[in-house]
Amino acid sequence: EDELSRSSHSNPGKSLVNGIKTNPASSSPKSSFTVPVGPPVYVDLAYIPNHCSGKNTDPEFFKRVRASYYVVSGNDAANGEPSRAVLDALLEGKSQWGENLQVTLIPTHDTEVTREWYQQTHEKQQELNIMVLASSSTVVMQDESFPACKIEF
């Protein structure tokens, strides 16, 4: 708060959002913040941020964060989790890779959104070498059971 106050006094018309100077005329921090160009990052496993909500994940995420496995954990349709737009962004981002590496998508919940997306984009998934891993096991812990997937590296 103190830094925000200093920034506003020393630089009228600007404020800090997440430590980045922004112009108040722009309504969204995203519009004033650009990700510097750089090489993609390759990881074994990536958790899609914010329960696969469209708030923080776009095709740029999938262009830059290239994972062998992506975990989709959203299970709140009222809040758009998982987001169809994020699942579509995976297809768009992966199509930009220029290499046909195998990708496995691991949904942690069986939702209508993921089922519809899977069925409607199945051909595109095959073309891009994307496999959706279905829950094939059930784990029981403290009188609660839930679907689970085993991942081996």
pLDDT along the chain (153 residues), means of 10: 45 43 44 65 88 74 92 75 87 91 89 90 96 76 74 59
Q: What is the pLDDT of residue 5?
A: 45
Q: What domain range is 80 assigned to?
A: 41-147
* 36 within domain boundaries: no
Beta strands 130-132; 65-72: pairing state: unpaired
* 94 within domain boundaries: yes
Q: Of 67, 72, 98, 96, nearest to 85 (Cα)?
A: 72
* 152 within domain boundaries: no
How many Cβ atoms are within 10 Å of 22's Cβ, its own excluded? 18
Q: What does each C-alpha distance from 15 to 142, 144, 151 come to in angstroms?
A: 49, 47, 44
* 56 within domain boundaries: yes
* 92 within domain boundaries: yes
Q: What is the pLDDT of residue 151?
A: 61
Q: Collapse the DSSP code of 23 into the 3-class scheme (helix H, G, I; strand E, B; otherwise coil) and give the result.
A: coil
Q: What is the pLDDT of residue 26?
A: 43
Q: What is the pLDDT of residue 119?
A: 93
Q: What is the pLDDT of residue 153?
A: 58
* 139 within domain boundaries: yes
- Overall domain count for the chain: 1
Evaluate whether 44 touches 53 at the Cβ level (below 8 Å): no
